[in-house]
Amino acid sequence: MVTRSGHGERSAAVTAGDTASDTPAAPVIHARALAKSYPGGPAVRGVDLSVAAGETFGFLGPNGAGKTTTIAMLCTLTAPSGGRAEIAGHDVVTEAHQVRRHIGLVFQDTTLDLGLTAWENLRFHARLYGVPAAAARERARMLLDLVGLGGRRDDLVGTFSGGMKRRLEVVRALMHRPRVLFLDEPTIGLDPHTRAQIWEHLRLLRERERITVFLTTHYLDEAEHCDRIAIIDDGRIIAEGTPAELKTVVGADRIELRSSDDRAAAAQLRDLFGLEATVTERGLSVRVADGAAFVPRMCAALTVPIESVTVVRPSLDDVFFHYTGRTIREEGGR
């Protein structure tokens, strides 16, 4: 009885997926109970994902949390040992060929051929993906212009800077008009200026292509660019939502306060508002739900002269710490 109903559910889901892939509401990435075990133990323990068309989805987690394995399964590079996943309505195991047509990949380490020119790299990719020659030339011209590499089309990639290589890789991944662009640490190892530049180009490309982006990053300020975020730890997704939603879970804003007498101010905060302030080297720090609304009330109530007040909104670093008990940079950047 149980097995029978389970079987029926599954085939129903398949047909629903096939017909629904034409409607815009159908998720472009869909994973259910996706799992992977290695001889050393489980790496991913049942991940559910649903990413809508046009969404930018950030996938965060400490090292060894299962990020890379999950991406590898979604990209058909590793076979799942349990569960299933579909990209653009195609199963990653039984229709790997179709999935590959619909995804573009940018890996952490460069996968460009440094001995070829930018255009030769793009042409190679286009022919591998069956893009007609004329269309490939036109698309390469448009995309290279968009990321500011129009003038370097015929230069050897070996002469490119790190940021230029990254941009070229993004262009290459988009040559065959994929539905989903996977970016594994797209800005790792780049200086802040170049990182900002890459994000600006990604924003332009997303506007232009209406593409779904699935990315991992160690820079949580970059995760702010995402529409939605999932945090994975120990092979399970432990939090999911928009950056704003996740920050609400962590809750409170933090107010940093400098006064002429921190001890007296702390006592008044406790007596008047019932708040426990902690003393830091920059003065007092106190957590409240809505910092902006609290500041005028606090300033009116405290009799101790106040020198400065700062409201700090919770960052994704706080969110990450809240869920994993670690800061993401403890992992050493890789």
Partner 1 sequence: MTAPATAPRASRYADELAALGVVWQRDMLHYVRDRLKIVVTVLQPVLMLLALGAGLAALLPASPGGADYRTFLFPGMLVMTVQAPAISAGVALVTDRQAGFLREMIVAPVRRETLLVGRCLGGATIAACQGALLLPLAGIAHLPYDPVLLALLLGELAVVALAMTALGVLLAVTITRTESFYAVLSVLTMPLIFLSGAMFPVQGLPGWLSWAVLINPVSYAVDALRRTITGYLPGPVPPQLFDGPRWGGWSPPVALELAGIAVLGAVMLVWASRRFGRLG
Nearer to partner 1, 7 or 38 (CB): 38
Of the two residues 175 and 288, which places its CB atom closer to partner 1 in the complex? 175
Neighbours of 321 (CB within 10 A): 16
Q: How far is the CB of 10 from partner 1 (least distance, A)?
A: 20
CB of 153 to partner 1, least distance (A): 15
C-alpha–C-alpha distance, residues 259 and 308, integer Å: 7
Residue 143 CB, nearest approach to partner 1 (Å): 17
Are the C-beta atoms of 139 and 129 separated by less than 8 Å? no
User: Distance between terminal CA atoms of the chain?
Assistant: 48
Tokens of 50: 């649903």
Q: Helix or strand or coil: residue 315? A: coil
| Residue 17 vs 241, nearer CB to partner 1 | 17
Q: Nearest approach, Cβ of 157 to partner 1 (angstroms)?
A: 11
Contact assessment for residue 155 and residue 186, using Cβ atoms and an 8 Å cutoff = no
User: 24: helix, coil or strand?
Assistant: coil
- Amino acid present at 25: A
Cβ-based nearer residue to partner 1, 112 or 319: 112
Minimum gap (Å) between residue 58 Cβ and partner 1: 22
Interface contacts to partner 1, rule CB under 8 A:
18, 21-22, 75-78, 88-90, 95, 97-98, 100-101, 103, 105, 107, 109-116, 120, 123-125, 127-130, 172
Of the pair 100, 247, the CB lying nearest partner 1 is at 100
Tell me how far apart the alpha carbons of residues 212 and 151 are, in angstroms, rounded to a whole number: 28
